[in-house]
């Protein structure tokens, strides 16, 4: 597969790639094609670190100080100079000074200095004996074993050295990183601006919350699933509501969305029904590929561009919307957001507790419940109802059972790959 082909070329000359078949696109190929058309948006902003959780660094971060920036005690105890200890022990030394964290040495460091955790090691001393390893009689301490050089001392720069690159550009900032940045005295960082994602549901039968349902109508669930999915990716989500199966309104909404967003996601209307207008409209106002993905659930999928804006047309069935989002859109958004490297969703080996019927030729993402047994083995049970309209299956499940394209019927006890929902969040 060529990696440098443009979207326009692929649309106008779809026979240039011998393995490109929009009617039988494998999950892997669809993923690779989409990634081929994406690059990070690369607009940056400066923010305070307290607002930086889960943002993506646009510039690497360099330490300008050592952490810690002075040798200090890791224990409450006595700082000593091990070179002053003669023979095998036991040893006794006089307490000649004391130093508390944040304070100067009182007295002198001639023999043993009473020291607290985090206090600066007085010049000339090179080990700390924890107080529980000593016996004290008035101002004399006694201890049995000679400590080794630098024992219980946190050395200057042992956590981070001044000049060191602490984080590379593209890193997604986690909670621990906020603390680490603060330990370096860094209060603001440069990050990529948040990706703007506009989304709407399509369908004459789709009703927004707050309205009564008439026969033949369903509440819009996809938009709410998407709100959650997008929140996990920390994008700026723009909810454009429900749009009926009306060519003019869909076209207007898509144009409006393309003017305010970097990514547009729609659900419904991408298959071959009479009222599935997305194909016609998108061909008119953008560049678009419609694929029949060899997967279940989630067969129809559209990817393309409207102006500068990336477009994902997801199938309307509520489980299909979620599966296609997880398998294609999630990674695309992380790429546009500038995250590098994009973490691969781990596939974990699990033992099937029930047989599964499957025909080769498509990848299935069955919803399952895994449990880890006392030996650490993952066991997985597929849920009984696997219909693409059964959204309850997503809520009940805690993983996808990934049944690869070439797999056929699977007996109980077969090892299969699972994707934990926690790793997709």
Residues that bind Mg ion (CB under 5 A): 203, 268-269, 316
Say whether residue 315 binds ligand AMP (CB under 6 A). Answer: yes
Strands 378-382 and 140-143: unpaired
Collect all residues with Cβ–Cβ distance below 8 Å to 215 and sequence separation of at least 6. none
Task: Choose the contact partner of 220 out of Mg ion, ligand AMP, none; CB within 5 to 8 A by kind.
Answer: ligand AMP
| DSSP type of residue 160 | B
- Tell me phi and psi for residue 415, to 5 degrees: -85, 130
Cα separation, 192 vs 47, in Å, equals: 10
Say whether residue 324 binds ligand AMP (CB under 6 A). Answer: no
Report which residue's Cβ sits closest to ligand AMP.
316
CA angle 166, 54, 318 (to 5 degrees): 145
**Number of residues in contact with ligand AMP, rule: CB under 6 A?**
18
Say whether residue 236 binds ligand AMP (CB under 6 A). Answer: no
- CB-hemisphere CA count at 13 Å for 254? 33
Which residue's CB is nearer to ligand AMP, number 21 or number 204? 204
Which residue's CB is nearer to ligand AMP, number 274 or number 411? 274
Say whether residue 217 binds ligand AMP (CB under 6 A). Answer: no
Which residue's CB is nearer to ligand AMP, number 266 or number 366? 266
- Tell me phi and psi for residue 178, to 5 degrees: -60, -45
Say whether residue 338 binds ligand AMP (CB under 6 A). Answer: no
CA angle 201, 204, 205 (to 5 degrees): 90
- Classified as helix, coil or strand, 285 is helix
Token pair for 298: 């989630």
Among positions 218, 249, 359, 425, the unique one binding ligand AMP when judged by CB under 6 A: 218
Say whether residue 201 binds ligand AMP (CB under 6 A). Answer: yes
- Tell me phi and psi for residue 299, to 5 degrees: -65, -55
- Classified as helix, coil or strand, 327 is helix
Among positions 26, 169, 267, 393, the unique one binding ligand AMP when judged by CB under 6 A: 267
Nearest approach, Cβ of residue 10 and Mg ion (Å):
26
Which residue's CB is nearer to Mg ion, number 111 or number 220? 220
Q: Which of these ranges, 103-111, 203-211, 248-256, 366-374, lies near ligand AMP under the rule CB under 6 A?
A: 203-211
Task: Choose the contact partner of 147 out of ligand AMP, Mg ion, none; CB within 5 to 8 A by kind.
Answer: none
Token pair for 208: 């927004």
The residue ranges that bind ligand AMP (CB under 6 A) are 201, 203, 205-206, 218, 220-223, 267-269, 271, 273, 315-318
């Amino acid at each position: 597969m060529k990696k440098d082909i443009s979207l326009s070329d692929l649309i106008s000359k779809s026979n240039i790639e011998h393995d490109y078949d929009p009617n039988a696109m494998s999950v892997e190929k669809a993923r690779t094609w989409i990634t081929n058309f994406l690059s990070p948006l690369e607009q940056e902003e400066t923010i305070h670190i307290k607002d930086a959780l889960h943002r993506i660094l646009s510039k690497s971060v360099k330490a300008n100080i050592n952490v810690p920036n002075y040798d200090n005690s890791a224990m409450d105890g006595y700082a000593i100079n091990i070179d002053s200890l003669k023979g095998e022990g036991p040893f006794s030394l006089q307490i000649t000074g004391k130093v508390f964290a944040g304070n100067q040495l009182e007295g002198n460091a001639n023999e043993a200095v009473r020291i607290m955790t985090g206090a600066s090691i007085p010049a000339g001393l090179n080990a700390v004996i924890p107080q529980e390893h000593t016996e004290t009689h008035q101002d004399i301490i006694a201890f049995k074993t000679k400590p080794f050089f630098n024992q219980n001392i946190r050395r200057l720069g042992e956590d981070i050295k001044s000049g060191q690159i602490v984080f590379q550009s593209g890193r997604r900032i986690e909670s621990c990183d906020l603390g680490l940045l603060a330990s370096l005295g860094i209060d603001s960082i440069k990050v990529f601006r948040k990706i703007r994602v506009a989304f709407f549901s399509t369908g004459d039968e789709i009703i927004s919350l707050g309205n009564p349902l008439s026969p033949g109508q369903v509440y819009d669930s996809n938009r709410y699933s998407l709100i959650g999915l997008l929140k996990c990716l920390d994008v700026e989500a723009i909810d454009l509501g429900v749009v009926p199966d009306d060519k003019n309104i869909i076209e207007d909404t898509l144009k409006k969305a393309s003017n305010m967003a970097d990514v547009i996601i729609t659900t419904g209307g991408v298959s071959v029904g009479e009222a599935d207008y997305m194909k016609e409209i998108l061909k008119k106002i953008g560049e678009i590929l419609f694929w029949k993905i060899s997967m279940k659930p989630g067969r129809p999928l559209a990817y393309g561009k409207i102006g500068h804006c990336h477009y994902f047309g997801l199938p309307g069935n509520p489980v299909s919307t979620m599966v296609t989002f997880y398998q294609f859109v999630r990674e695309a958004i992380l790429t546009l957001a500038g995250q590098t490297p994009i973490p691969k969703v781990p596939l974990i080996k699990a033992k099937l507790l029930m047989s599964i019927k499957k025909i080769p030729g498509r990848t299935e993402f069955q919803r399952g419940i895994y449990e880890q047994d006392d030996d650490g083995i993952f066991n997985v049970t597929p849920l009984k109802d696997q219909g693409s309209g059964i959204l309850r299956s997503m809520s009940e499940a805690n993983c996808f059972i990934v049944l690869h394209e070439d797999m056929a019927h699977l007996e109980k006890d077969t090892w299969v790959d699972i994707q934990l929902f926690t790793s997709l969040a």
